[in-house]
Amino acid sequence: MANEPAQEYIQVTYKKPRPYRWAAGEYLSRLYRECRDNKRLMTVKCQHCNEHVWPPSKVCGRCKKPSGDNWVVVSDKGSVVQFTYTNFPMFDPHVGKYMTEEHPFATIDLDDCEIYWVAKLEEKDKDKLKPGMRVQAVWREEGRGGGLDHDILYFRTIEE
Ligand SMILES: [Zn+2]
């Protein structure tokens, strides 16, 4: 038993980039287009339970019925509920690279809806981070499309 060979792992190396595309579907595609083209968040309000469906979907995650076609604008302002600070390189699956800058991530309770969203914060000073702080999305000048993380850079602290 003591002299068993160590387990051999299989390693696969890819030498060429493998670009790919996929369909986000009717509802997510509309959200992504609104972010890219109009710098706003949109979703559907369920025709049965009247809750905001996030992310937008044909079927409501709460009542499991067709959510309908009542599209509404959602605020890009909110309050920080909780946050965490990473001190190690995080891999960003959206771009296939490690993030080089440290950013705190927060759960944000968006105004006037039932949506909680995890996003990066601009504020990096740990002493200035606190639950309840007010924040607003900072949109990329030229939207790249393809997802919220591409069109919103981070959430910035605001005074109200
Ligand atoms: Zn519903």
Looking at the structure, tell me whether residues 46 and 106 fall in a common domain: no
Q: Would you state the pLDDT for residue 95?
A: 67
Report the domain count for the chain: 2
- Give the count of beta carbons closer than 10 Å to the beta carbon of residue 74: 22
- Give the count of beta carbons closer than 10 Å to the beta carbon of residue 2: 3
Looking at the structure, tell me whether residues 26 and 36 fall in a common domain: yes
Inter-residue contact 94 to 150 (CB < 8 Å) = yes
Q: Compute the distance from residue 90 Cα to the ligand 1 centre, in Å.
A: 35
Q: Would you state the pLDDT for residue 30?
A: 93
Q: Compute the distance from residue 68 Cα to the ligand 1 centre, in Å.
A: 9
Going 121 to 123 to 124 to 127, the CA torsion angle's sign is: negative
Q: Compute the distance from residue 65 Cα to the ligand 1 centre, in Å.
A: 6
| Rounded distance between C-alpha atoms, residue 71 and residue 62, angstroms | 17
Share of the chain above pLDDT 70, in %: 92
pLDDT digits (tens, 9 = 90+) for 109-124: 999 998 999 999 999 9
In a domain, 131, yes or no: yes
In a domain, 8, yes or no: no
Looking at the structure, tell me whether residues 40 and 96 fall in a common domain: no
In a domain, 70, yes or no: yes
Inter-residue contact 91 to 98 (CB < 8 Å) = yes
Q: Would you state the pLDDT for residue 132?
A: 97
Average pLDDT over residues 95-111: 84
pLDDT digits (tens, 9 = 90+) for 37-50: 899 999 999 999 99
What are the distances in angstroms from CA 139 to CA 4, 10, 41? Answer: 57, 42, 11
What are the distances in angstroms from CA 22 to CA 50, 58, 107, 126, 146? Answer: 30, 18, 28, 38, 10
Average pLDDT over residues 58-74: 97
Q: Compute the distance from residue 31 Cα to the ligand 1 centre, in Å.
A: 18
Average pLDDT over residues 95-102: 74
Query: Given the structure tokens 């080089």, which residue do they identify?
Result: 100
Would you give the distance in Å from CA 68 to the centre of its chain?
23
List, as ranges, residues with CB under 5 A of the ion ligand 1.
46, 48-49, 60, 62-63
96 compared with 147, residue with greater pLDDT? 96
Q: Domain holding 156: CATH number?
A: 2.40.50
pTM: 0.78
What size, in residues, is the chain? Answer: 160
From 58, 74, 90, the end of a domain falls on: 74
Looking at the structure, tell me whether residues 109 and 56 fall in a common domain: no
Mean pLDDT computed over every residue of the chain: 87
Q: Would you state the pLDDT for residue 64?
A: 97
Domain of 148 in residue numbering reads as 75-160
From 74, 96, 116, the end of a domain falls on: 74
Res 14 pLDDT > 60: yes
